[in-house]
Amino acid sequence: MRPQAPSRYRGDLEDLQSLRSGAATSDAVIHTAFRHDWSQFAESCELDKRAIETIGAALQGSSRPLIVSSAVGVAQGRAATEDDPPLSSPSLPRVSEATAVALMERGIHAMVMRLPQVHNTVKQGLVSYLVAIARAKGVSTYIGDGQNRWPAAHVSDVARLYLLALERGAAGARYHAVAEEGVALKDITTAIGRGLNVPVISISQDQAQEHFGFLGFFAGRDPLTSSAKTRAQLAWNPTGPSLLTDLVNMRYSEA
């Protein structure tokens, strides 16, 4: 199946009748779509909320499961766990998880899947934007000492975890699709620098917004994340390649 263009994804999310009828005739629903338009991020979050509410309404009164995709959070001084609240703020108004929780409170069999940087040798979540910025600016960049860490998981492991959640997941549960608790940003940007054959440098936090654009909000964060509870509950054992392995094997000339 050929991948759909971003404009088609936007149309699908806006077509609430299509979402409603699709959910009504499904045995289960996995919601992973999100319009990554960073110039209208608040509008994208509101679109996501309406889509989730529409799907939930179609599942009301049944035991059919709904998995809503979200993002990992940040816990100060330790790895974030499945019991920590979702990441949301006025500057990051994504409410996918909060919307799922509201559905859970209405008796809908909803679960949350928190995603890290999901990767293969083609795309790596927000890391793909780091590659694009390094290519455009001729330098691969990290902030400060670059020891802030981004969690990651290979796409094959994440897909298997979604399946396990459908088969065994508990209503109201939060799961972490995290294979690596954290990969240092300096190591990530060093791999990118080698792949693109560009210098690797450090910049200050004050320079981050200008250099990274929208990614400056994320680049200095340290969202170390545990998946111990998820692994124990769903017997999930990720075995895919690491993020750095995929970055080393990425065909940068074709990306």
Say whether pLDDT at 73 is over 50.
yes
Say whether pLDDT at 255 is over 80.
no
Q: Decide: 150 and 127 in contact? Cβ < 8 Å.
A: yes
What's the whole-number mean pLDDT along residues 82-102?
84
* 180-184/149-154 β-pairing: antiparallel
Say whether pLDDT at 170 is over 70.
yes
What's the whole-number mean pLDDT along residues 210-239?
95
Say whether pLDDT at 2 is over 90.
no
Say whether pLDDT at 201 is over 50.
yes
Mean model confidence pLDDT for the chain: 91
Q: Decide: 149 and 74 in contact? Cβ < 8 Å.
A: no
- Band of residue 139 on the pLDDT scale cut at 50, 70, 90: very high
Residues whose CB is less than 8 angstroms from the CB of residue 38 and which lie 6 or more positions away in sequence, other chains included? 213, 214
Give the model's pLDDT for residue 30: 96
Q: Specify the residue for token string 């790895």.
A: 79
* 174-176/110-115 β-pairing: parallel
What's the whole-number mean pLDDT along residues 16-25?
94
Q: Decide: 242 and 180 in contact? Cβ < 8 Å.
A: yes
Q: Which residue has the higher pLDDT, 217 or 183?
A: 183
Question: Lowest-confidence range among 65-69, 74-78, 112-116, 135-139?
Answer: 74-78
Give the model's pLDDT for residue 3: 36
What's the whole-number mean pLDDT along residues 163-170?
96
**162: DSSP letter:** H
What's the whole-number mean pLDDT along residues 53-81?
94
Beta bridge partners of 209: none
Angle at the Cα of 143 (from 44 to 91), degrees rounded to 5?
A: 25
- Give the number of other Cβ atoms within 10 Å of residue 222's Cβ: 15
Say whether pLDDT at 58 is over 50.
yes
Q: Decide: 80 and 73 in contact? Cβ < 8 Å.
A: yes
Say whether pLDDT at 166 is over 60.
yes
What's the whole-number mean pLDDT along residues 214-228?
93
Say whether pLDDT at 222 is over 60.
yes
What's the whole-number mean pLDDT along residues 47-73?
95
Ordered domains of the chain (ranges, CATH): 6-243 (3.40.50.720)
Say whether pLDDT at 117 is over 70.
yes
| The model scores a pTM over 0.75 | yes
* Nearest residue to 71 (alpha-carbon basis) of 30, 125, 124: 125
Say whether pLDDT at 128 is over 50.
yes
DSSP string for 130-171: HHHHHHHHT-EEEETT---EEEEEEHHHHHHHHHHHHHHPPT
Give the model's pLDDT for residue 42: 87
Give the Cα separation of 68 and 53 in Å (integer): 11
